[in-house]
Each structure stands twice: as structure tokens, then as C-alpha cells.
């Protein structure tokens, strides 16, 4: 359906007029970044599923040179997966 780094369309545009968003966090809450102005919004997954329209560009196909506010996969924070044994050290 959608993956981290994809550019998506929502049912309504952002206040700046742009309707293209980058997915920068997926979990219980979804964090998206407006590709027009760079504004970041975090919304609950249920609300996101209602407002989500379609995937415009898969993360692997995005031309980063044409996107001013696009975060590369190396810039997106990955989930903190700490092994219980490492935590005690």
C-alpha cells in the first residue's frame, strides 16, 4: 500500500496549496511532510487511512534533485530497536 519515503496524495491539499506529501514515519501515528512548504504533520493511523488517497511516487523512484523538501532514506530516523541485553550494558 505505502512505504517509508513514498510521496503520496491526500484527499484535501495542504494550506499552502500542495497535495503531495512524503511519508517520514509509519507506526501507530503517521508523520508526513508537505512537499510544497516542508511543514510536518503527525496524525493517528486511523485518521490517516481515512484521508489517504493514493501513492504518487514509490520511494525508490523519487528524483531527489527535483524535490526541495524530500528527506533521503539516510536522513529518516529508523525505529530504535535495542536488544534487551545491550540495554543493560
**Mean pLDDT confidence for 54-72:** 72
**Which residues are within 8 A (CB) of 22 and not within 5 positions of it... i.e. 6 or more apart?**
5, 6, 7, 8, 32, 33, 35, 67, 69, 70, 71
CA distances from 15 to 10, 11, 77 (A): 12, 13, 26
Q: Which residue has the higher pLDDT, 44 or 71?
A: 44
Task: Confirm whether pTM is higher than 0.95.
Answer: no
**Which residues are within 8 A (CB) of 20 and not within 5 positions of it... i.e. 6 or more apart?**
7, 8, 9, 34, 35, 36, 56
Amino acid at each position: 500500500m505505502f512505504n517509508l519515503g513514498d510521496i503520496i496524495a491526500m484527499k484535501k491539499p495542504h494550506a499552502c496549496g500542495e497535495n503531495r506529501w512524503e511519508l517520514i514515519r509509519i507506526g501507530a501515528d503517521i508523520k508526513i511532510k508537505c512537499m510544497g512548504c516542508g511543514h510536518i504533520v503527525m496524525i493517528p493511523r486511523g485518521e490517516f487511512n481515512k484521508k489517504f488517497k493514493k501513492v504518487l511516487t514509490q520511494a525508490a523512484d523519487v528524483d531527489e534533485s527535483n524535490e526541495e523538501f524530500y528527506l533521503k532514506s539516510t536522513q529518516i530516523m529508523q525505529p530504535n530497536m535495542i536488544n534487551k541485553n545491550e540495554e543493560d550494558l
